[in-house]
Chain A
């Protein structure tokens, strides 16, 4: 490789389109939010955890969930962050730090 070789760079863009099937469980969760303003969780018959958002199986016990129960609307804030940097293609932050 000589020092005088001009290095070629080629601009490119990938655009892959997808159709994501949300599935019956997620669809039912969204419907409950929209139609009855309820946040639904699903109980695992084995560990008894109520998983939110409601979903069709518990990954810890590897079993199908059984009953759906409404939860909330109160909750405990466990952790948070405040975004101050803007990233292309993502929602705009409320505050942007001076660079």
Chain B
């Protein structure tokens, strides 16, 4: 019943604080052109376009996605699901292909936050205006609340957060597109200013601009292009209020229920039964290094209480999957695009086109997306094998 499809084109601008030489339409164009060139397809072959742009206030342009409509006359819709926008847009593009209404979808996401001068104030407006907006809830403090709880409940340490961050920066040195190219040691990171305990500045993401695009094609349109087959895609939305996510049988705040549920469904479709063995590379949407700890049990790598041990194993056991070979959001976080960038990087790994950051022998890669205060989670499984 389900249509088989693959990512056959990837386009990314570089990620940096501000692309002062490009207007928003130019950035959309650059990523789209690259993806179409990579797919050896002309815009005329595209049947549907899905745009992903998260909060308009970061760009200061309402409807910025409308400024660059290509091959006018195509279905064109815009997704906004915050941090998970990039993957939601990719999934929506995949649905058009899955329905048969498109043989080829072009999905693009744009982050234009280089134009914002008060981005944390913008992020503060995501919280409930009735009860929460007057508190200093920000993306940083909400991550800190989770990091603090992970330390209390599972025994993680401040050092753990610094080591994860250091690994991300080291990987990013091999990614020419990344925003941050600095070889920071755990000591450097712990010495950086504290933002909100226990999060240090270098454990948080940079504010990056950029655009990312993917070309998704149904099986019959793949031809002799190099595919990253879509083996599983799942998205789950959780309750909004953090307080509602503590004492419930489904799982507490740091159990990252929405990610676990998405992983279960995506893995079932992909035929993944043992995450440690079946997955070769993982691209995580973790804007803060401490958030990575919540992904270990949610993605099926270990039991929650074994998280700190799994972290140690990641540094010592080469048979385990490579985490964030691109450097992840620590090294570049173009918010609207970040979740699509994870899919793009996973696709490059599977297709053997990841350049210096290529992980050897990747048969299957997983990309996650995170939006809101870990409210929305997506999991995408890509692989070299065409699904049954």
A residues whose Cβ falls under 8 Å from a Cβ of B: 1, 7, 9, 12, 14, 18, 20, 22-23, 26, 49, 51-53, 59-60, 78-85, 87-91, 93, 97-99
Contacts and interface: CB of A to CB of B under 8 A. Distances in A.
- Give the contact-size bracket for chain B: 35 or more
B136 A93 contact: yes
A63 B306 CA distance: 37
A26 B239 contact: no
Nearest to A13: B60
B193 A99 contact: yes
A84 B196 contact: yes
Given A78-B253, A82-B196, A83-B196, 11 more contacts: A14-B60, A23-B130, A79-B148, A81-B144, A84-B194, A85-B196, A85-B201, A89-B121, A90-B121, A91-B135, A98-B193
A81 B20 CA distance: 36
A27 to B, nearest CB: 10
A81 B244 contact: no
Interface in B45-97: 57, 60
A7 B196 contact: no
Contact of B124 (A60, A78, A83, A89): A89
A28 to B, nearest CB: 12
Interface of B: 20-21, 57, 60, 118, 120-121, 124, 129-131, 134-136, 138, 140-141, 144-149, 152, 193-199, 201, 239-240, 243-244, 246, 248, 253
B131 A53 contact: yes
A5 B346 CA distance: 38
Contacts of B131: 26, 53
B63 to A, nearest CB: 13
15 contacts: A49-B244, A51-B244, A59-B239, A78-B246, A81-B144, A81-B145, A81-B199, A82-B196, A84-B193, A84-B194, A85-B196, A87-B138, A90-B121, A91-B134, A98-B193
A87 B121 contact: yes
A38 to B, nearest CB: 16
A20 B130 contact: yes
A26 B133 CA distance: 14
A12 B59 CA distance: 11
Contacts of A81: 141, 144-145, 147-148, 196-199
A84 to B, nearest CB: 5
Nearest to B135: A91
Interface SS of chain A: helix, strand, loop or mixed?
loop
Contacts of A83: 136, 141, 144, 195-196
A79 B120 contact: no
Given A78-B149, A78-B246, A81-B145, A7 B21 contact: yes
A9 B145 CA distance: 38
A60 B194 CA distance: 36
B239 A90 contact: no
A17 to B, nearest CB: 12
Nearest to B62: A14
A12 B136 CA distance: 25
Nearest to B149: A79
Contacts of A59: 239-240, 244
A85 B118 contact: no
